[in-house]
Amino acid sequence: RGRSIMAGSTGPVKRGVTCSSCGLQRVRMPTSWSMYDCGFYCQPCWEAFECSICGHKDPKGNDFKGNWNCRACRHKRLVKEKNVPSHDTLQRLIIEESAELEGSTPAQPNALDRGKSDEAVKLLSKLATAEDEKDAEASDEETWADADVVGELPALLGKAATGATQKADISRPRHIVLVLDASGSMRQQDVEADAETRRELGNQCASLTRLEAAELCAVKFAREHAKARPQDFFSAVAFHETAATISKKQLANEFAESFGLGDRAANGTFYLQGLKEASTLLDEFPDLPGELVLLSDGRPADTKAALNFFQETFLHGRHCKLHVHGIGFGTTVESFAPLQQLACLSGGTFALSGSTVRGLCQAFSSVSSTITSAQSSNWIMADAEEKQPQKQKPQLRVVDFELPEQGIFGKKHVIRLQAARTHFSFDGTTFRHKEYDARPVVRRQLPYMRGGMRLVYSFQDESVSKDGSWMVAKSSRYLDATLNSRIAVEAHAKSSALASYFASLFNAKLLASGATKPATLLFVPCYLYEAKGDLPQTEPRCFAAERYLPGVFLKYNSNNGYVADAQLPHNDVVQAFLHFTFEESGGCFIVADLQGVARQSEVLLTDPQVLSLTREYGPGDLGTAGYLRCLHAHRCSSACKRLGLHPINASKLRQVGRSQTAGSTNNSWQHVLSDSSFSDWDRVSERAAAEYVLGEGHPPTTTMSASSWVHILDS
């Protein structure tokens, strides 16, 4: 770069410091010099390393067209040069495809089918004993007037059912480690302070620096969390190019009194340093189960190094049972793809906070809700487990994860194959399918994401994505042949088809009910692919694929009774859809595990799980147990009432729970279940998060997702 040696160097210096850039030597390090990554830099060289875009100094950056770029900004520039389609464009393509496929479905009446609705309600009574009927409680009208009373979780049926056993001691303290970004960008004073915050701080400043807001909200987080779990301990780490422990294993009150970040914001963002320091802290207290909360305001400069360390230590190593929760301190989710990935891979939550103190506090609150609910909902039916012999869990695929590389399919690290595509549709009574001839498709070798049951890969089929959009492929996390069979993948694709059918009915009937601009629910169309010809031994022949859905993922509910925070956008409408599917199907189905990206007037959902009394819809169909938990956790809203749905009466659910019996049919999936070697291993434990923030929402993230989750955009 043409840097000259500073005057004053008169000969070889035997001892001292040497500028790593220009070679200038000094006996002692001058105060004007800087040290970075074990190297020394004289003032002129250090100033030359200032990024022309963000102002950060990074000696490991590079010159781009005459301007110095730090690694993070250079990466962003390279991504933009790929002509990446915007999130909005990708989402609109999904909306258009959903509308096109929905157009082939016969028109349905806009009123709720009262006959089917009554059948669903009667189903609960049929399963109850005559003695149970004598104990019936409030009428439907009383239930509506009684604020939609529903028994509390985690009890399975309002109160702990006979034989219900709690797996974990919920009073056991946990170690919550806050890992806070203290890079130079955290000095920016652009965080809006509301009136309440200004009163608390005793000043009328309309905005705070990002670091000040992080400190304020971290203290509030500890105090609020202590109301639910006063026994938990808190530690804190601040990181940029180095990391330091600020607080160590303190109860909430002590932590709130002593915690402070001071004026330490400087340098770039390096996740690796924060993760290493947090790992060291966790190692000091091995008897305390941990939770890690990582807050950052942008993309790190060490995404690959951080991901490698994370996999080695937090996925496969000594902290493999720990959840990492991410908080993106900003308004656009594109900058937080690496943070979303870490949160999702560990089964944690991601929340996008926006640029206000209120939003940041809400993001922290969603994380607290996740941690609290995860510790209070880990119930099993002991009697059921004791009656059945222990079955060996299927073997997991051993995989490493790569950085998100959507749209990048070069000669290396990809699998090219011929595969036939099948699309399923449902008309209310029958599934139909349309088959397409085998065509060339390409998939990345390594997954970049995982859910509770599936791995997620970047994928491309030009016959579907002619418009330049991206796709993802999903295959089982397990090596068990039954879980990679066509029957298993077909069950997943049919769940999406059935969900799409009921969503079209739901949207029409909610609009006809007089609701003011209700959100439209749309499911991402899902395809079944079957590879032809020879394949590597470990590669599944059948897999599912769909368009890539960018944004912040929100987890609204699960297939096992988890219900997200009511603050999620369009939450009432999405939760009402679960109730609607139960009544509209006459009690035959419940569409649960609702997760996706919230837009202003739509919610784009993916990976739904259909629950049935006959367990026909794959390993995620938990049958009667899942049915009851989802109905019992549901709280009716104004949307349920507007649709004319029967309020869910807690007494009826208790009756069903006492007699969990239901007929089963000898269908193909049931046959697979009976011949396979798995039982309740597939009962995914979902954590709340809502928050999710993501932006895209979606990420929403919150809340965490444990059934094939997030598609992360690395842009």
**Cis ω for the linkage preceding 300 (within 30 of 0):** no
* 625 and 479 inside one domain: yes
Which residues contact residue 159 at a Cβ distance below 8 angstroms, ignoring those fewer than 6 apart? 151, 654
* 435 and 552 inside one domain: yes
Residue ranges of E strands in 183-289: 191-192, 207-208, 233-239, 243-251
Let me know how long the chain is.
715
List helix spans (H) across 459-531: 486-512
* 457 and 352 inside one domain: no
Q: Which amino acid is at 624?
A: T
Q: What is the largest CA-CA distance in the chain?
A: 102
The domain that holds 195 is classified in CATH as 3.40.50.410
Give the C-alpha separation, 478 to 490, whole Å. Answer: 16
Residue 389 maps to a domain = no
DSSP classification of residue 365: H
Shortest CA distance to 594 belongs to which of 585, 581, 612? Answer: 581
* 329 and 455 inside one domain: no
Number of domains in the chain: 3
Residue 397 maps to a domain = no
Residue 107 maps to a domain = no
Which residues contact residue 435 at a Cβ distance below 8 angstroms, ignoring those fewer than 6 apart? 420, 421, 422
The domain that holds 677 is classified in CATH as 3.20.200.10
Residue 456 maps to a domain = yes
Domain boundary among 80, 105, 129: 80
Residue 388 maps to a domain = no
* 456 and 340 inside one domain: no
| pLDDT in the model for residue 392 | 60
* 443 and 536 inside one domain: yes
Residue 263 maps to a domain = yes
* 524 and 450 inside one domain: yes
| pLDDT in the model for residue 314 | 94
Residues 21 and 43: beta-carbon distance below 8 Å: no
The domain that holds 63 is classified in CATH as 2.10.110
* 357 and 431 inside one domain: no
Domain boundary among 80, 99, 117: 80
In which domain, by residue range, is 491 found? 414-682
Give the C-alpha separation, 311 to 318, whole Å. Answer: 11
This prediction's pTM:
0.73
Classify residue 480 as left (phi > 0), alpha (psi -120 to 50) or beta.
beta
* 507 and 632 inside one domain: yes
Residue 486 maps to a domain = yes
Residue 489 maps to a domain = yes
Q: Which amino acid is at 711?
A: H
Domain boundary among 51, 80, 109: 80
Parallel, antiparallel, or unpaired: how do β-strands 526-532 and 553-555 relate?
A: unpaired
* 444 and 564 inside one domain: yes
* 335 and 482 inside one domain: no
* 222 and 351 inside one domain: yes
Q: What is the mean pLDDT for each group of 10 consecutive residues in the chain (715 residues)? A: 41 70 90 89 91 85 74 74 71 83 58 59 50 41 34 31 40 92 91 81 79 93 92 95 94 93 85 96 94 93 92 93 92 85 90 89 86 54 40 78 78 90 94 94 93 90 83 91 90 95 94 87 96 87 94 87 82 95 91 92 94 87 86 89 82 51 40 34 30 30 32 31
| pLDDT in the model for residue 310 | 96
| pLDDT in the model for residue 100 | 79
Give the C-alpha separation, 59 to 107, whole Å. Answer: 63
Residues 171 and 335: beta-carbon distance below 8 Å: no
